[in-house]
Amino acid sequence: MNPITFAHRFDHVTGSAIREIFKVLGRPGMISFAGGNPSLDALPDRLCADIARDVLTEDGKRILQYGATEGYPPFVESLTEYLRARFGFDMEQNGVLPITGSTSGMDLVCKALLDPGDVVLVESPTFLGNMQTLNLYQARLVPVESDDDGVIPQALEQAAKTHRPKMLYIIPTFQNPTGRTLSAQRRKAVAQLAAQYGFLVAEDDPYRDLRYRGEALPPIKTYDATGHVIYMGSFSKVISPGLRVGYLLCNRELLRKCTVGKQGTDLHTPNLNQAIVDQFLRRNLLEEHVRSILPGYREKLDIMLEELSCFPQGSAFTRPEGGLFVFVTLPNGLNATALFETAVERGVAYVPGTYFYPEGGHDDTLRLNFSNSTPQQLRQGMQTLGALLSQSAQAQ
Amino acid sequence: MNPITFAHRFDHVTGSAIREIFKVLGRPGMISFAGGNPSLDALPDRLCADIARDVLTEDGKRILQYGATEGYPPFVESLTEYLRARFGFDMEQNGVLPITGSTSGMDLVCKALLDPGDVVLVESPTFLGNMQTLNLYQARLVPVESDDDGVIPQALEQAAKTHRPKMLYIIPTFQNPTGRTLSAQRRKAVAQLAAQYGFLVAEDDPYRDLRYRGEALPPIKTYDATGHVIYMGSFSKVISPGLRVGYLLCNRELLRKCTVGKQGTDLHTPNLNQAIVDQFLRRNLLEEHVRSILPGYREKLDIMLEELSCFPQGSAFTRPEGGLFVFVTLPNGLNATALFETAVERGVAYVPGTYFYPEGGHDDTLRLNFSNSTPQQLRQGMQTLGALLSQSAQAQ
């Protein structure tokens, strides 16, 4: 046949670089610090088996029939109550929409708001999955400088003045890939700047409940007096990513557009998956389940931080209070992108940090995930990596 | 706040007209011929309860973990075998992608192929849900004339010459809204014209298994020698729409683009839902289940066709061999759009045909669904409608 002409939205999206990385993860014996998967131990398979049978037995006809785009009614109810009680969100001004994983929330927000060429401010580095979603809407990504307390308000204000952005995409808590958390003061500043300069904030908050120490901070959304902040939550990290259930919370006008967009994207999120998460909320299972998985995650993070001492002197790394990732900057121009292949040959995978930067570069950085390895794998993998990096440092 | 500026893709999409119709369906006592829902009797809730518990017990960790965008591996395997055995599709040239209901297949095909202003040929009338999906990609919809055997090849060729379309969207079997089936000869012609004029065919085939009489015809895709035809299948009508599981089958180059697009839309279709459908294929439950639900559907269709005799003389209607819909054209300019409100007041709902026409108009048409009513409701509802229409005819 004639070659197919694909849509221009794919002109700069190949989806391939990072996929090559993930392909090697299945090799026998590979220790992977590359993914962002929850620990298998933390996935409540037996509980979900019972719940799935229960909900299909009790409300099976409604669950198997077409549902409303607006969500499975019992779940919308329990979720609304949960969010009101937990964060004090104003559920008259705001509404909630169950979505098919938080990726689909990002997709719907982009669908509602973005025309090609619209500027979206992003942290630098930021989550590469949602960069791809943004790129498929032909957004122009403009990085905003961050430090250990997250996005710097002065840099954000300057970018708002210079670029007149449509939106800021931000992960304020245990950020992906850095693990950093935006300070409370800056959360307030972000909400104020959004109101002042008229851009929307897509607040992506999937890691919040994986806090191993320190005090939880309120979402940016709680400082939003003007309806500029969209709160995107997910049950992927605290119940199951395979179920694909998250939610959007935002002002009702924007939520309506997202809902109409969703009619054309997947009609509705599967009812069964919403019904399962609904039971976690209704039976108060979520809090207990989260409490039960935190100690294992905390131990793994601590092992990884401890083992970072075997990295070459001068390595800098984040010390997150939660989440799934540690971000490392190597000394003396050591190149984590170039070393990746050798690391994989030695049986350890990570993600070179360059993929998280909208502008590329930063080859001296890497992201390490600790949740999906055993303590023994963490020690062994970190020591293998440390030895490789030290060799390379000496060879320079 | 300042009013939000939404993306231009929403300029002509409100999603509101038809929603107003569906809102009234929940009223107590309403007889609805408006939806496209399977019969509640046909939804295998007990079987799904057992299967859901079984798959989560046996493969729960993998099901609850992140899955591949390419699909849950056991399902990809069983689905590939099923499609090869059933239709003889060449599964080297073609690949299959599990999707979150067939709406999401349409979304991914549009995402891969369409830039704003691209021409998409559609049947007239056609499925309004996918018209909305197409409109959200700012496609220019051009209707192609149909008769009782479906799209007319000469009209399709003329449209291909005149409009240089990117794609044809077509429902060849028990079409929504008409119930018509494209003849075998025309199926072949459609595939040949696509190859000759270089447009793609999105073949949407969710109703195929709901055949109550007559012989099944091969998909357009079986006549496709050049990779121009995309086959979109769904388990919504034969297992459950609430599970949201369908699939795309097309040449591997295009499938790759759809897969990269899906990474940014919902990452992957929930594993649990794929695992449930997988069991229907593996345990050979699908064929038996379909066989068990057909007699009930056939009876309902026959009642509706019989009761159409109480519509005013001169009413024309389709006589489908399967599917969920009968399409009616009223005589003497009787206006189904205008009469809708009165029909609802009398306790019967339908969808005015005008919503299915990309160009609007055709107010003398309506779509009737028979699957979601009991035999008694069918008789009562059709008689109520017949009486209303006869009154209106006399009042003219």
DSSP string, A71-82: --HHHHHHHHHH
Per-residue pLDDT for A305 more than 70? yes
The rounded distance, in Å, linking the Cα atoms of A9 and B258 is: 12
Q: What is the pLDDT of residues B16-34, one digit of tens each?
A: 567 777 777 778 889 999 9
Choose the mutation target among B66, B72, B193, B238 for the interface with A, i.e. most A CBs under 10 Å: B66
Query: Are B10 and A100 in contact (CB < 8 Å)?
Result: no
Q: What is the pLDDT of residues B322-355, one digit of tens each?
A: 999 999 999 988 999 999 999 999 999 999 999 9
DSSP-derived letter for residue A37 is: P
**Average pLDDT score over residue span A231-254:** 98
Residues A286-303: what's their mean pLDDT? Answer: 97
Spatial distance between the Cα atoms of A299 and A312, rounded to a whole number of angstroms: 23
Q: Flag if A227 and B40 touch (Cβ within 8 Å).
A: no
**Cα A161 from Cα A153, distance rounded (Å):** 12
* Cα separation, B237 vs B13, whole angstroms: 27
What residues in B contact A61, CB-CB < 8 Å?
40, 43, 45
Kindly report whether the peptide bond that precedes residue B206 is cis, defined as omega within 30 degrees of 0: no
Closest partner CB to B61 (pick from A43, A52, A101): A43
The one-letter code for the residue type at B299 is E
Q: Do B100 and A266 touch (CB under 8 A)?
A: yes
Residues 6 or more apart in contact with residue A232 via CB below 8 angstroms: A102, A105, A106, A109, A202, A203, A204, A205, A206, A246, A247, A248, A249
Nearest CA in chain A to B114: A7
Distance in Å, alpha carbon of A332 to nearest chain B alpha carbon: 35
Smallest Cα distance from B199 to chain A, Å? 9
Residue A219, helix vs strand vs coil: coil
Helix (H, G, I), strand (E, B) or coil at A132: helix
Give the integer Cα–Cα distance in Å for B368 and B388. Answer: 15
What is the model's pLDDT at position A31? 96
The string of pLDDT tens digits covering residues B154-187 is 999 999 999 999 999 999 999 999 999 999 999 9
* Closest chain A C-alpha to B3 CA, distance in angstroms: 9
- Across chain A, mean pLDDT equals 96
What pLDDT is stored for residue A14 in this prediction? 75
Q: What is the pLDDT averaged over residues B102-119?
A: 97
Only one residue has tokens 């924007």, namely A254
pLDDT at B333: 87
B259: distance to nearest CA of chain A, Å? 9
Confidence tier at A2 by pLDDT (50, 70, 90): low
Least confident of A10-14, A155-159, A259-263, B278-282: A10-14
Chain B residues closer than 8 Å to A44 by CB: 64
Residue found under tokens 């609805």: B32
Predicted confidence (pLDDT) at residue A8 exceeds the cutoff of 90: yes
Tell me how crowded residue B308 is: count the other CB atoms within 10 A of its CB.
18
- The pTM of the full predicted model, rounded to 2 decimals, is 0.97
Q: Nearest by CB to A272, from B38, B136, B242: name it.
A: B242
pLDDT for B39 equals 95
Is B263 in contact with A15 (Cβ distance < 8 A)?
yes
Chain B contacts of A132, Cβ < 8 Å? 263-264
Distance CA B52, CA A56 (A): 9
Nearest CA in chain A to B15: A260
The encoded tokens of residue B132 equal: 């909305």
Kindly list the residues from chain B whose CB atom is less than 8 angstroms away from the CB atom of residue A49: 52-53, 56-57, 60
CB contact under 8 A, A244 and B265: no
**Contact assignment for A113 to B6 by CB distance below 8 Å:** yes
Query: What number is the average pLDDT over the span A22-26?
Result: 76
The string of pLDDT tens digits covering residues A44-88 is 999 999 999 999 999 999 999 999 999 999 999 999 999 999 999
Segment A48-59, tens digit of pLDDT = 999 999 999 999
- Asked if B103's CB is within 8 angstroms of A267's CB, the reply is yes
**How would you write chain B as a 3-class SS string?**
CCCCCCCHHHCCCCCCHHHHHHHHHHCCCCEECCCCCCCHHHCCHHHHHHHHHHHHHHHHHHHHCCCCCCCCHHHHHHHHHHHHHHHCCCCCCEEEEEECCHHHHHHHHHHHHCCCCCEEEEECCCCHHHHHHHHHCCCEEEEECEECCEECHHHHHHHHHHHCCCEEEECCCCCCCCCCCCCHHHHHHHHHHHHHHCCEEEEECCCCCCECCCCCCCCHHHHCCCCCEEEEEECCCCCCCCCCCEEEEEEHHHHHHHHHHHHHHCCCCCHHHHHHHHHHHHCCHHHHHHHHHHHHHHHHHHHHHHHHHHCCCCCEECCCCECCEEEEECCCCCCHHHHHHHHHHCCEECEEHHHHCCCCCCCCEEEEECCCCCHHHHHHHHHHHHHHHHHHHHHC
Both tokens assigned to B28: 């107590």
Q: Do A133 and B264 touch (CB under 8 A)?
A: yes
Give B213 to chain A, closest Cα distance, Å.
25
Q: Looking at A267-281, A282-296, B12-26, B108-122, which range is the least confident one?
A: B12-26
Number of Cβ pairs < 8 A linking chain A and chain B:
250
Note whether A66 contacts B100, CB cutoff 8 Å: no
In degrees to the nearest 10, what's the CA dihedral of B114, B120, B124, B125?
0
CB contacts, 8 Å: A129 with chain B: 263-264, 267
CA B374 to chain centre: 22
* pLDDT value of position B322: 98
- Identify whether the C-beta of residue A111 lies closer than 8 Å to the C-beta of residue A251: no
Position A17 pLDDT exceeds 70:
no
Cα–Cα separations (whole angstroms), residue B24 to A43, A44, B21, B362:
41, 40, 6, 23
Note whether A1 contacts B240, CB cutoff 8 Å.
no
The nearest CA of chain A is from the CA of B308 a distance in Å of 27
* Residue of chain A nearest B19, judged by CA positions: A260
Chain A residues in contact with B64 by the CB 8 A cut-off are 43-45, 48, 239-243
| Chain-chain contact of B260 with A60 (C-beta, under 8 angstroms) | no
pLDDT category, B44, cuts 50, 70, 90? very high
Degrees, nearest 5: CA angle A272-A275-A279: 145
Mean pLDDT of A174-182: 98
**Model pLDDT, residue A25:** 78
The angle formed by the CA atoms of residues A291, A294 and A295, to the nearest 5 degrees, is: 110
Residue A216 backbone dihedrals phi, psi, to 5 degrees: -65, 145
Read off the pLDDT of each residue in B232-257 and give the average, rounded to a whole number. 97
Burial B128-152 (b: 16+ CB within 10 A, else e): bbbbbbbbbbbbbbbbbebeeebbb
Return d(Cα B236, Cα B393) in angstroms, integer: 38
**Predicted pLDDT at B23:** 75
Q: What is the mean pLDDT of residues A157-163?
A: 98
Q: What is the pLDDT of residues B50-86, one digit of tens each?
A: 999 999 999 999 999 999 999 999 999 999 999 999 9
Residue B49 has phi, psi (to 5 degrees) of -60, -45
A91/chain B closest Cα distance in angstroms: 17
Name the residue facing B66 among A241, A269, A273 (closest C-beta): A241
- Give the residue among B149, B196, B177, B125 at the shortest CA–CA distance from B326: B177
Distance from CA of B221 to the nearest CA of A (A): 14
Look at residue B2 in the predicted model and tell me its pLDDT.
Answer: 63
Closest CA to B312 of B385, B378, B390: B390
Of B111, B198, B254, the CB nearest to A2: B198
CA distance A307 to A386: 9
- Taking residue B4's Cβ as centre, other Cβ atoms within 10 Å add up to 17
Q: What confidence tens digit (pLDDT) does each residue in B268-295 have?
A: 999 999 999 999 999 999 999 999 999 9
